[in-house]
Structures are given as C-alpha cells and as structure tokens.
Chains A and B, each alone.
Chain A
C-alpha cells in the first residue's frame, strides 16, 4: 500500500482495541514467574514457586498423568479423524455416489451446525451403547463430531489436485485405489498435516465432552483437571498457580501453532466456528 496516509494514529487505535488481550496474555506469562503483593498488579519479585507443581504432586495433584491422558485423547482423535476424513473426502470429491449433492449439502450443514446442540442425544446414544463414562465413548464422539469438518477440508484439498494426474494413473492400468494411495495422497499431504494438527489441538483443548460424557472416568484430562483446580476453594484462588498450570497446558498448543502457523491460518480461514 502507498504511504500517503498517516499510519501512526491507526496503530494507536489498534493497540487500544487489542489492549485487553495483550494485558491478559502478558500477565499470564508474567504471573507464572513473579509474585505481586495482594491488591497490586505489578510484580515485586521473581520466583519459580508457581511451577513447583511440575515435580511436587502435593501441590495440585499429578499433572503429568492428566497430561498423558490429554495426549491419548488428542492422538486418538487424529487416528479417527484423519484416515476417515481423507477416505471420505476423496469419495465425495472424485467418485460418483448416489445422493452426492444431498450428502455434500448434509456435510456442509453439519460442518456449519454446532454439534453441541446434539449433546443430549449423544448422551443417550452413549447410555444405550454402554459407552457412557468411558474415554472410548468421548473419543468416538469427539472424532465423529469433527468428521464433517475434516471431510469438507479434505474435499477442498482433493478438488485442488489436477485430475490429469489421476487420469494418467488410470490410463496406465493402475486401479483406482492404487492411484489414490500412490498418486493422490502425496498431493494432499499439506491437508493431512493441517488436519492432524487441527485434530490434535481440538482434542487437546476439549473440555465439555470429557466432563459431561465421562464424569466418572479415571482418565482425567488436563482441561477437566485445571477447571476442577479453579473450582476447588481450598487454594484460595491462587491465580498465579492456575496460570502456571494453564501455561503448562497451553505449551503444546503454542508450539504447534508456531510451527504450523501458516497452514493453520488457511484451515482456520476455511471455517471453524466460535
């Protein structure tokens, strides 16, 4: 853009609007390493005491176990979402199916339709199938609710693959499945990576489903762990400690976000809700 406009006032305005976020995230990091006297905001000393929960389970309980459970949940969701979406995405992108239009419209609606509305129905399905209160149930539900999103994203990536590649493979006598595996899948690798990262982030951050659908499960995930910490009054709202646990919880998200920022931006642009 040309520079015949003053930039400075705009940046001031922008900073003002962004101030709440900047303050929240700034103090989030600051408060995990410092102490402020009660009723004050500015720290007066540096301390690592808020991080002692990492090696001392007596502070808040075993965070590593909860982190391990979160990891299992997140990885299981990748395992469900990525293969199933990439198969189904290919089918709806390239193959001729009965009710294809209807199915695509359905996926589009499901993708746009916030699935938490169905939580009551999901609760019954889990009760009837005996999966209520198990982590497997949570994983299946979370994975299924992500499928429309995954299929839609993968369909977009398959649509972008030039069909000459596929045609050439078929002409050379390879079966459609071989063509898919050997020629098409490598072309949509960026999509697979982005979807995996996204599935991981979504599973890692999930709170509602484990809390509601597996309240008695002994596989407590970090989100539930952290929120119970906040609700337990005996700590007297030690926000600095919560924030340290919170930063610990968010580190994998931040790392993945930094590593895959551009791809995530694209997939976010493709449309998540919130």
Chain B
C-alpha cells in the first residue's frame, strides 16, 4: 500500500468523523420523501388545520362553504322583531315599491307572462312607479289582454315589485345603501345591526364549544364512548385476545392454525359484508332470534330492539374484529417467553393455571399495555361499524362521540349538515388522540425506534 493511499484514507476517515458529528442533510432523502410529504400535507395536515379552523365557525349547509351574501328575509325581520326591532322600522324595511322598468319586463318575460299583455304594460306604464301593489294590480286589470284569473294577475304584478327583502347583496355597503334608500327613517345604527345579522355566510364563533360544554347530550356521549371503549377493550381486545392467545399457545398446531384463521376472518372480511352477517345473526328472523324463539326465550331484533341487546351487539361485533389484534400481538409475545421457564415450572409441579398466573401473565405486562393504549385510540374514533349496524340506536342510546361528530357534519337525515359543530367535535377527538399518542410514544421508548440511520454519506 502506497503512502498516498494511506493519506487518502486518512483524510476520508477524518472527514467521515466530522460528518458524524454534524451530518450533512441528504438532498436525495428529501427528494425521495417529497411525494409522501405532498400527499400527507394535502390529506393529513391540511384537514387537521381545517378542522381546527372550522371548529370555530358556524359553518353549515345553510351558510354554505364559500363566502356568504347579505340577505334580509321576512324570517330575519321576524327574529329581529323579537329582539327589539320596532314594528314601524320593520314595515318600512319590508315595504314594496313598484316600478315598470326593463329589469321588471325581463323578469316577467322569463317568468312566462303572455307577450301581448307584457307589451301593453310596457307601452302604458313604462317609467312609472307605484307605492301600493293593489293599485298597480287594479291598473293592470284594465288592460285589454289582462288574464282573467286574479292569481295570474298578482303574479304578473310581482315581477315589477322591488324590495330589499330576499334580494342578495354581495357586500354590506350595497345592502346598507339600499336599506337607507328604502327606509330613510330608520336610524343608521339599526341599519348596521340589520346588515350585520343579514349575513348568510359562516362566522367565527366559539358557540360550538359553548354548546358542547353546556348541553346535557355531551355527558351522555362521553358516557357512551367510555362504556364502548372500556367494554370492547376489556372484554374483547385484551380479555378475549389474551385468552385466545394463551389457549392457542397450549393447543396442538393444527388446532392453533384453524382457530387463528377463524379469528382473523372478521378482520379481513369487508366491513359491509361483516355488518350484513351481524344483521343476519341478530335481526328478527335471523339466527339468534330463531334459536331464542325455539327455546322459548324473548325473540326480537336484538340489534335495535332493546338498549341492552343493542349494546351487546355493538360491543361484540367490534370486539370480534379487535380480538384478533390482541391475539396476534399476544401470540408473538408468548412465543418470545423462554421455554425453559415453562419446562422448569412443570418439573416443579406447577399446574397450568399457576403457570399462566406466575410466569406468563407477568411477562405480558408490556404487550397488554401496548394493545390497551393502541386500541384505545382506534376505538375512540371508530364508528363505521356502528354506523352500518345500530347507527346509534335505539334512539340515541348507543351513539358514541365519533359517530355523533360524523353524523352532525356529514350524514344526517334532516339535510342541514352542521360542519362547524361537527368539526368542533372532531377537534376534541384529534386533541385527545394527539395527547394519548404522545403519552404512549413516551411509554414505549420511542427514541429506541428512531435511532440514527446507520450510514450518512
């Protein structure tokens, strides 16, 4: 080996050592990461931020998602009347003026008014205006081509009415000007108040959180969610999962593989089919009710028929999916227990229960804690199964927080979707989820998982 080569490697080693102290940022790494970052920021981070922002608005189907407009509706005037708007002011604002101009003619043509009648109106009244709709209708009746039926006549007259009511304005200034024009006697403070209230778009507000904090329903939702998560976790994900894992640990191999496949089936079955199978299992004329009927037990739609059976159905149908998670994780942990310990205990004459109690369970502490924390998160915000089966019924007795947030914002039957309130509810879940995640990252020694990359060139 020549001395120059020695020198080179020496330099290389030195430079690598300095690299290790302050590693260079890998451009390639950023490039490889870019597509993932792009999609994640669009569909993961942006939604979180939007949820956070919209949680503080009263966004709903009726406000629309885009920018709102300014409209004074008869309904709004009635509401304002309850809040102190004087009757005189309300009448002045609601007053109708009639003017025969081109805009009115155009509206009437579009509305399908007889063209002959329309041209007569234009010839006779063009440029005129009336204060009283009835006087205008009377005048119209006098025209040769006027329709016989009073209804049609009034409809025609309406095309020429102009009123602030129900007219959409893009900005507050236009509405203010129009209001001052129509009702000059109304004070400018009152007008400003009306304009403010006439906004149809979403506004920033903390009302969602006030509502969540004060309404009685919230307590019930929290109670339902806690019951749902605790029961599913305790009975199935951890309880049944642990039971299955330990039993399958002791059974011969063919039995083990048969049952672990059987328990994986709910997990791989598409959700919709799984929901249908539960319907078949619990609905009237389904499996359980038929069996119960033949045994002389109460037989009805167990999924929605009573509160107790609805809860049992909901927890089991989620639990049968969740149990396989526990089963797989605990089986792995069990296989990691040194066999010698078990053999030794058998030589010492331990029976199976003592073996489970004294050797296996103490070593399962971490897996149990992991399944509990991990699944708490998923259960807190899972609602698809509930939505497809009981849908929170009967009544709202099995509605959990996530389902309520989802139906409030995206899927209710009244048609007015309250995005803002739903987002506020989702935000609560996001915050709970983040806090829990951070706690369990701490718990499971995250730093070991993210040790430095092996080579940094």
Contact among A11, A28, A119, A204 with B410 in the assembled complex (CB-CB below 8 Å): A119
Are B422 and A117 neighbours in the complex by a CB distance under 8 Å?
A: no
Are B46 and A121 neighbours in the complex by a CB distance under 8 Å?
A: yes
| B449: chain A residues within 8 A (beta carbon) | 104, 108
Report the Cα distance A84→B43, complex, angstroms: 15
| A170: chain B residues within 8 A (beta carbon) | 455, 457
What 1/0 mask marks residues of chain A from 191 to 210 whose CB sits below 8 Å from any chain B CB? 00000000001001101100
Contact among B36, B244, B271 with A207 in the assembled complex (CB-CB below 8 Å): B271
Are B381 and A91 neighbours in the complex by a CB distance under 8 Å?
A: no
* Count of chain B residues near A, Cβ 8 A: 114
Are A38 and B285 neighbours in the complex by a CB distance under 8 Å?
A: yes
| A7: chain B residues within 8 A (beta carbon) | 250-252
Can you report 12 A-B residue pairs in the complex whose CB atoms are below 8 A from each other?
A: A18-B259, A23-B281, A24-B281, A91-B28, A96-B26, A105-B441, A112-B378, A113-B434, A120-B47, A123-B409, A249-B270, A261-B261
Q: Indicate whether A271 reaches chain B with its CB closer than 8 angstroms.
A: yes
Are A242 and B325 neighbours in the complex by a CB distance under 8 Å?
A: no
Are B250 and A246 neighbours in the complex by a CB distance under 8 Å?
A: no
Segment of B49-57, B75-83, B210-218 in the binding face = B49-57
Are A144 and B29 neighbours in the complex by a CB distance under 8 Å?
A: no
Q: Given the interface contacts A7-B252, A147-B36, A268-B264, does A122 sit within 8 Å of B47 by beta carbon?
A: yes
Q: Which residue of A lies closest to B328 (CB)?
A: A269
Are B30 and A148 neighbours in the complex by a CB distance under 8 Å?
A: no
| A201: chain B residues within 8 A (beta carbon) | 268
Q: Indicate whether B287 reaches chain A with its CB closer than 8 angstroms.
A: yes
Report the Cα distance A144→B261, complex, angstroms: 29
Segment of B93-101, B109-117, B122-130, B382-390 in the binding face = B382-390
| B5: chain A residues within 8 A (beta carbon) | none
Interface of B is mostly: helix
Tell which of A24, A151, A253 has the most Cβ of chain B within 10 Å.
Answer: A24
Report the Cα distance A87→B35, complex, angstroms: 9
Are A121 and B51 neighbours in the complex by a CB distance under 8 Å?
A: yes
Nearest 6 pairs of A and B residues by beta carbon: A121-B47, A95-B29, A273-B378, A144-B43, A205-B270, A88-B36
Segment of B157-165, B168-176, B423-431 in the binding face = B423-431
CB distance from B48 to the nearest CB of A (A): 6
Are B346 and A226 neighbours in the complex by a CB distance under 8 Å?
A: no
Are A10 and B39 neighbours in the complex by a CB distance under 8 Å?
A: no
CB distance from A14 to the nearest CB of B (A): 5
Q: Indicate whether B33 reaches chain A with its CB closer than 8 angstroms.
A: yes
Are B269 and A21 neighbours in the complex by a CB distance under 8 Å?
A: no
Q: Indicate whether B243 reaches chain A with its CB closer than 8 angstroms.
A: yes
Q: Indicate whether A145 reaches chain B with its CB closer than 8 angstroms.
A: yes
Are B270 and A95 neighbours in the complex by a CB distance under 8 Å?
A: no
Q: Given the interface contacts A22-B262, A97-B33, A105-B441, does A117 sit within 8 Å of B426 by beta carbon?
A: yes
CB distance from A78 to the nearest CB of B (A): 15
Are A87 and B272 neighbours in the complex by a CB distance under 8 Å?
A: no
Q: Indicate whether B450 reaches chain A with its CB closer than 8 angstroms.
A: yes
What 1/0 mask marks residues of chain B from 330 to 347 whose CB sits below 8 Å from any chain A CB? 001000000000110010
CB distance from B297 to the nearest CB of A (A): 15
| A13: chain B residues within 8 A (beta carbon) | 247
Query: In the complex, which residues 254-273 of chain A have their Cβ closer than 8 Å to any Cβ of chain B?
Result: 254, 257, 261, 264-265, 268-269, 271-273
Are B437 and A14 neighbours in the complex by a CB distance under 8 Å?
A: no
13 new A-B contacts, CB < 8 A, other than A14-B248, A144-B39, are A10-B247, A20-B316, A24-B281, A25-B262, A94-B454, A108-B449, A112-B437, A113-B437, A124-B47, A144-B43, A148-B44, A167-B455, A273-B378
Are A90 and B32 neighbours in the complex by a CB distance under 8 Å?
A: yes
Report the Cα distance A148→B388, complex, angstroms: 26
Q: Which residue of A lies closest to B339 (CB)?
A: A1
Are A95 and B28 neighbours in the complex by a CB distance under 8 Å?
A: yes
Q: Which positions in A face B, CB cutoff 8 Å?
A: 1-2, 4-5, 7, 10-11, 13-14, 17-18, 20-25, 27-28, 38-41, 80, 83-85, 87-88, 90-98, 100-101, 104-105, 108-110, 112-125, 127, 129, 140-141, 143-145, 147-148, 151, 163, 166-167, 170, 176-177, 201, 204-205, 207-208, 212, 222-223, 226-227, 230, 237, 239, 242-243, 246, 249-250, 253-254, 257, 261, 264-265, 268-269, 271-274
Q: Which residue of A lies closest to B316 (CB)?
A: A20
Contact among B43, B286, B324, B437 with A125 in the assembled complex (CB-CB below 8 Å): B43
Q: Which residue of A lies closest to B243 (CB)?
A: A17
Are B377 and A273 neighbours in the complex by a CB distance under 8 Å?
A: yes
Report the Cα distance A151→B35, complex, angstroms: 12
What 1/0 mask marks residues of chain B from 21 to 32 whose CB sits below 8 Å from any chain A CB? 001111011101
Are A268 and B40 neighbours in the complex by a CB distance under 8 Å?
A: no
CB distance from B412 to the nearest CB of A (A): 12
| B265: chain A residues within 8 A (beta carbon) | 21, 25
| B25: chain A residues within 8 A (beta carbon) | 96-98
Are A88 and B33 neighbours in the complex by a CB distance under 8 Å?
A: yes
Are B43 and A95 neighbours in the complex by a CB distance under 8 Å?
A: no
Q: Given the interface contacts A20-B316, A96-B453, A273-B378, does A110 sit within 8 Å of B44 by beta carbon?
A: yes
Report the Cα distance A235→B243, complex, angstroms: 41
Are B50 and A124 neighbours in the complex by a CB distance under 8 Å?
A: yes
CB distance from B352 to the nearest CB of A (A): 5
Are A269 and B329 neighbours in the complex by a CB distance under 8 Å?
A: yes
| B275: chain A residues within 8 A (beta carbon) | 227
Q: Indicate whether B322 reaches chain A with its CB closer than 8 angstroms.
A: yes
Q: Which residue of A lies closest to B447 (CB)?
A: A101
Report the Cα distance A131→B393, complex, angstroms: 33
| A109: chain B residues within 8 A (beta carbon) | 434, 437-438, 441
Are B272 and A268 neighbours in the complex by a CB distance under 8 Å?
A: no
Are A95 and B325 neighbours in the complex by a CB distance under 8 Å?
A: no
Q: Indicate whether B267 reaches chain A with its CB closer than 8 angstroms.
A: yes
| B321: chain A residues within 8 A (beta carbon) | 274
| B37: chain A residues within 8 A (beta carbon) | 88
Q: Indicate whether B193 reaches chain A with its CB closer than 8 angstroms.
A: no
| B46: chain A residues within 8 A (beta carbon) | 121, 125
